[in-house]
Amino acid sequence: DASGMRLETLAGALLAQHAHVRFSVVWAAGRSGFSSDWATMNQEQVALAGVLDTAKRIAKKLRREDRAVHLVSSAGGLFEGKKAIDSLTVPTPLRPYGEGKIVQERLVSSDQSLGVRRIYRPSSVYGYLRGARANLVSALLAGTQQAKPVRIVGALSTQRDYVFNQDVGRFIASEILSPGAVDVQTHTLASGRPTDIFQVIQLIENQTGSFLYREIDPRPSNALDTTFLPTALPPDFQPTGLIEGISKTAMAMKQDRARANLH
C-alpha cells in the first residue's frame, strides 16, 4: 500500500547514507490476547507477513548477516497448562492464540532471506507504562490505590511465572544491538520461579499496606498452571525478583500519577 511504499523509500534513502549498516525489524505488535479467535489471529498473521515482505524489499541490497528480524511471541500462549517447562519442552497450545503465535514464529524462522532471526517468548509480563495493557500486578496495585475490587481471572492457586517488563525490554534491546551470527535462536524470557496469584496478592498488600478487595471468577477460563524451570532461560538473562519488581511497578505508577496531577 501507499504507506508501505513511503516507508520503503524513506528507509532505502537512510540506508544509502551509510557504507556499512545493520537493518533490524522488531515485531512486538498485534492486538491479540489469550481469548482471541482464529479470525483475529489470521488478521495478525496477514499484518506480520506484510511487514516481513516490506522488510525484505528494504534490505535486499544488504548482506544477510546485516539483516535481522526480532519477533516477540508468547510463552504463556505456547505452553498453557504445562509445568516445569525447560529448553526442550515442545509447545502444545490449547487455543487459537497459541496456535497463531506458532504460525507467526514459523513465518519468521523458516525464511532465510530475512537474515538473522530472533524469537522471544516472554511469560507473564508485568510492570507499568502509561497506555500499555494492564497486567495482574498493575491491576492489583491500582485496586489498592483506588480501594476498588479487582476481578481475578484465574484461581487463587493458579501458578504462573511473572517476569518484569524492564528485564524483557533490556534483553531484547541487547539482542537487537548485538544479535550474533547464529541464523535462528528462540529465547524464553521468564523468572524461572512459579508464583500463585494468592502470593502475588499478599506481596502487593505487604508493599502497599492496604487490603485488596477482590472478585473471584467462579468459573475461570484461564486458570491452568504454567511454570518454567531456570534451565529454560538464556544464560545471560537476569530476572528481577518479584518483590523488587512489584516495588518498581508501584513507584512507576506513583510517579505517573504525580506527573498527571502537575498537568
Rounded to whole angstroms, the Cα distance separating 226 from 8 reads 41
Rounded to whole angstroms, the Cα distance separating 222 from 153 reads 6
pLDDT > 70: what percent of the chain? 98
Determine the average pLDDT of the residues in 233-256: 95
**The pLDDT value given to residue 112:** 94
219 vs 110: which has the higher pLDDT: 110
pTM for the model stands at 0.93
DSSP assignments along 8-65, one per residue: HHHHHHHHHT-SS--EEEEE------TT--HHHHHHHHHHHHHHHHHHHHHTTTS-GG
pLDDT > 90: what percent of the chain? 69
User: What value, to the nearest 5°, has the Cα angle with vertex 41 and ends 150 and 159?
Assistant: 40
126: closest CA among 83, 166, 72? 166
**The pLDDT value given to residue 29:** 79
For residue 134, how many C-alpha atoms fall within 13 Å in the half-sphere facing its CB? 11
The pLDDT mean for the chain works out to 91
Determine the average pLDDT of the residues in 200-217: 91
Q: Answer for the pair 119, 185: CB distance below 8 angstroms, yes or no.
A: yes
What are the tens digits of pLDDT across the range 134-189? 899 999 999 998 888 888 877 889 999 999 999 999 999 999 999 988 999 999 99
DSSP letter assigned to residue 179: -
CA distances to 4, 19, 95, 185, 189 from 117, rounded to whole Å, are: 22, 23, 25, 7, 16
- pLDDT tier, 2 (very low <50, low <70, confident <90, very high otherwise): low
Residue 5 in this model has a pLDDT that exceeds 80: no
Most confident residue range from 31-40, 126-135, 185-194: 185-194
- pLDDT tier, 97 (very low <50, low <70, confident <90, very high otherwise): very high
Most confident residue range from 51-60, 89-98, 129-138, 145-154: 89-98
